[in-house]
Chain A
Amino acid sequence: MDYQKIRKRFIPMSETMFFILFSLREENHGYGIMQDVEKITRGRIKLGAGTVYQSLSKLESDGLIQPTQEIERKKQYRITKIGEKILSEEIERIRELFQITEDFR
């Protein structure tokens, strides 16, 4: 898929997508992602199985993540170059939002 189309589909990104993509900077599987996201958000976000599966399917079909291997029937994923680019753009967008609101304080 064309990069601009992917960009349009994912930016701005939902919090769920953001944290799943962020978590997949390192190889992980569905349940591991949930644990990782719960840890990095200090328990604020606990993803459910349906949400994780749906999100992984969408990210994979658009080429933002890719399956790497299967360990004990657990499919492992990792972020792709396109995924990294989209994630960087989203981080930049959030940083800009933060900066704008900070300037008003």
Chain B
Amino acid sequence: MSKTRTEWFSTFRYMVPADYENWMEKLAADGWNIDKIGQWSSIRMVFKKTDPKQYRYIFDIHTSAKRDYLETYRQFGWEFVGQMASCFIWRKEYTAIRPESFTDLESIEKRNRNVMNAVMVSFILFTVITLVMIAATLLSSSSMSSEETRQMILFIACAVLFSTYLGWVVWKIYHNRDR
């Protein structure tokens, strides 16, 4: 049996923070653990086979996390697993009561709103880029060769797909903002 397990594009598959946390928790319970999360972990993560662990994972986002942010979590007994851009991953082992980091609806919604806003920025950016590409293609279509037109259409199709995906992520987080 393989002692490692590779997961690709995890943050793209589990966009709602609570789903990401539950996915990590389920893997740990099945004996798949990761001790360090880094910048590229949103693309590729390698889990090692260990004994099953009961971890509560937390996905939090902070664009400008200060030192006291890390200290506050540590004081509460959370282990810093790593960071992907401004996304922070914490965990705590437990036996009976599943620990929480966000203990009221207001703070759960605020965390989810922060994640949603970060995705929204990318969504707006990609939508603008897509519209500019469509306008540029329409304006210069007469002077473009058939090969250039084909390439441009391919770029536009990819940009439309990605923008649609980001829009769907925003919608999904919004509709799951209370958990």
What residues of chain A have their CB less than 8 Å away from a CB belonging to chain B? 14-16, 29-31, 34, 45-56, 73-75
Contacts and interface: CB of A to CB of B under 8 A. Distances in A.
Contacts of B106: 14, 16
B25 interface: no
Interface in B101-157: 101-104, 106-107, 110-111
Interface residues of B, number: 22
Interface stretch (B40-48, B65-73, B159-167): B65-73
B107 A54 contact: yes
Nearest to A52: B72
B55 interface: no
A16 B72 contact: no
B75 A48 contact: no
B72 A31 contact: yes
20 contacts: A16-B107, A29-B75, A45-B103, A48-B76, A49-B72, A49-B73, A50-B73, A50-B101, A50-B102, A51-B101, A51-B102, A51-B103, A52-B72, A53-B68, A53-B69, A53-B73, A54-B110, A73-B67, A74-B71, A75-B71
A16 B110 CA distance: 14
A62 to B, nearest CB: 15
A45 B76 CA distance: 15
B78 interface: yes
B18 interface: no
A49 B71 CA distance: 10
B77 to A, nearest CB: 8
Contacts of A49: 72-73, 75-76, 78, 90, 101
Contacts of A56: 72
Nearest to A30: B72
B107 A75 contact: no
Nearest to A32: B75
Contact of B99 (A14, A15, A48): A48
Contact of B104 (A14, A31, A73): A14
